[in-house]
Amino acid sequence: MVEGEATAAAKPTRWKPSFKLSGNMALITGITMGVLAAVVQGYFGLQPPAGDGICGISHPANIVNWLVNNIFGTKFTIHSIFVTVPVLTSVGFVIGSFIAAVKNKEFKLRPGPVRDNVLAFILGFLIINFGLLWGSCPIRTAILASYGMFFAILMLGMIVLGVIVACLYIKWKVRRA
52 and 36 in contact (C-beta within 8 Å)?
no
Nearby residues of 123 by Cβ (< 8 Å), 6 or more positions away: 114
Binding mask 123-142 for other proteins (x = CB under 8 A): xxxxxxxxxxxxx-xxx-xx
Residues 51-70 close enough to bind other proteins by CB under 8 A: 51, 53-54, 56-57, 59-61, 64-65, 68
Member of 16, 109, 175, 177 binding other proteins (CB under 8 A): 109
Member of 1, 5, 7, 167 binding other proteins (CB under 8 A): 167
Please confirm whether the linkage preceding 48 is cis (ω < 30° from 0).
yes
111 and 95 in contact (C-beta within 8 Å)?
no
Q: How many residues bind other proteins (CB under 8 A)?
A: 121
Query: At its nearest, how many Å lie between other proteins and the CB of residue 137?
Result: 5
The nearer residue to other proteins, 6 or 96, going by C-beta atoms, is 96
- Rg over CA atoms, the chain: 22
Tell me, what amino acid is at 173? K
When asked if residue 21 is in the footprint of other proteins (CB under 8 A), the reply is yes
